[in-house]
Each structure stands twice: as structure tokens, then as C-alpha cells.
Amino acid sequence: MAPGRCSPYVSASCAAGGDSGREPYVAGHHLLVAHAEAVRLYRAKYQAAHGGEVGITQVSHWFEPYDAGSGADRRARRRALDFMLGWFMHPVVHGEYPATMRRLVGSRLPAFTAEQSEMLRGSFDFIGLNYYTSNYAMAAPSPNKLQLSYMTDNWAYTPIFFNYPPGLRELLLYTKRRYNNPTIYITENGTDEANNSTIPISEALKDETRIGLPLQAPPVRAQGHPLRLDRIDECDVFITCDREGVKVKGYFTWTFMDCFEFGDGFKDRFGLIYIDRATLKRFRKKSTYWFAHFLHR
């Protein structure tokens, strides 16, 4: 992905070179410090006059142990969460990286100064949370020390992903327990469809996939018991989280209309509104009627 830097053992397509075992952590470190500086500036000079709030959006999958009876897979699930959600959430809550990352990445993980740590701690009034999918997490052996990469540093193998709407609820509950129950806005949630130009628009508007999220059974795990998938929608998430005390204040579907995706261009369609890209005319997909019903019930 942009800017196209990685180690050659990760991909031959990275013509710009790079170091996959170090540079992702350096880039993430600077993002966090820049965030904390921006929050400090806003709070010092503008927040009182504006009466506004400032936050940070986190992106994370939910993870399930491939074998729920395996302690190794349960620990792999925790490491996977630490290396995805925790990488950016732990510093803004606790002023440091998760202990798991510090232990496994070692000196390749930059350290915050005392001033940076203090500046990061509590550097948000709310968080955004982007959730799309869940992955199985399996314990993996220690990575090859000659081919280090962010993708293997967590000692977890997570190649199997599946549509799992309850994963959003689990991620919200985990964030509440792990990170002191922050105020949360769900800033992205949804699914995409292939941009199929061979079917008429009238058929493309029937986005049943988006309405139901295909609740196909995930691949059977090692012990032979797939996850139970109950139909769940955003309303169920909010009712459950209200009972559990999760402070969810808003929900944004991704996205209102078909858009240009940074990595995939126009290959996919995410919108509730269909865009005829030849004429730029807009058409309501079936999901818009479902969403309107949901909002008014």
C-alpha cells in the first residue's frame, strides 16, 4: 500500500524499498505524537471558545480464537487485538504501547519520551471506531528473525476472515473493558459489493447483501464447532451496549453513496445510494428503505 515501501521478502512490488520490520512502527509512532500535539494545541487555544470535542478514530477487526478450547489460540487472539486496536488505542489511554508489542517488537518499536507519554495519555474526548469484519486467530511460531514484519510480529496467524455482525458488539464491549469505557462513535461500518457493469441498474439496486450481511457459517474450527451466528443489526448492538454501559453516541454507515476507494478505486460499491458513473445520476438501493425503516422504528 501507499507509499509502496516494504521489505523484498514481503513483496517484490515495493520498488521504493523499505523495512517492514521497522518502518510501520516509526510511521505509527509519528502519527500518534502528531495526534497528541494537535489535541494539546486545540485544547490550549480553541476548545474553550468553540465548546467542541476532539477525538481519534481507531480501525480494528474483531478476532476469535480458531480453537476456542486452545489457550494458545486465545492468547493469539489477545496479541492480534493488541497489535491492531491496542497499537493506537493503548498509547492515548495509558501513554505507552501494549506490553505485548514492547516485548515482541523490542528495540524496533520507538519509545515515547516522558513528555510525549504525558501528552498522549487522555488525548481524546471520544474515539471513533471503524469495524467491518472478524478474523480467526491461531497461534503462530516466532517469526524468522531475518524476515521481520509487522504482519508476523504478533505471533498470530489470522488469514481467515468472515462477515460477523456480532463482532461489532464484542469489539465495543472489549474497548469498554480494556480502555476505561470511552465515549464511542461508530465512524465506519458496512460492506461492499463488486462493481458489476454487466447487470442492469435495476438489479444492482437489490443489495440484499448489505441489508442482511451474509450470515454464512464461518469455516469450521479445529474442535468442530463453528460460531453461532444470530441475526443482529445496529439496533441490537445499541440496545445491548446500552444495557452493558458502553457509551455509543452515534453510528455512520460506510457509505452514503458509492465512492472512490483509496486502494481499490471504483472496483467496489459501498454506498446506500447507487451512482451511475456514466451519467452521475443517483438511485436509491434497497438498503436505503431498510435503513429509513430502522431509523424510524
Question: Looking at residues 173-182, what average pLDDT do you find?
Answer: 96
Residue 220 pLDDT exceeds 70? no
Of 114-128, 211-225, 263-277, the range with the lowest mean pLDDT is 211-225
Please write the tens of the pLDDT for every residue from 18-74. 999 999 999 999 999 999 999 999 999 999 999 999 999 999 999 999 999 999 999
Please write the tens of the pLDDT for every residue from 111-144. 999 999 999 999 999 999 999 899 999 999 999 9
Give the homologous superfamily in CATH for domain 22-296: Glycosidases (3.20.20.80)
Neighbours of 20 (CB within 10 A): 21
Q: How far is CA 234 from CA 79, 119, 176, in A?
A: 27, 35, 18
Q: How far apart are CA 186 and CA 236, in angstroms?
A: 14
**Residue 293 CA to chain centroid, in angstroms?**
27
The segment with the largest mean pLDDT, out of 75-79, 215-219, 244-248, is: 75-79
Report the mean per-residue pLDDT for the chain. 88
Residue 239 pLDDT exceeds 80? no
pLDDT at position 232, please? 40
**Residue 82 CA to chain centroid, in angstroms?**
12
Q: What is the pTM of this model?
A: 0.89
Task: Calculate what percentage of the chain has a pLDDT beyond 90.
Answer: 68
Question: Looking at residues 195-217, what average pLDDT do you find?
Answer: 78
Taking a C-beta distance cutoff of 8 angstroms, is the pair 246, 176 a contact? yes
pLDDT at position 235, please? 54
- 86 phi, psi to nearest 5 deg: -65, -30
Q: Is omega for the bond preceding 255 within 30 degrees of 0, making it cis?
A: yes
Q: How far apart are CA 82 and CA 155, in angstroms?
A: 11
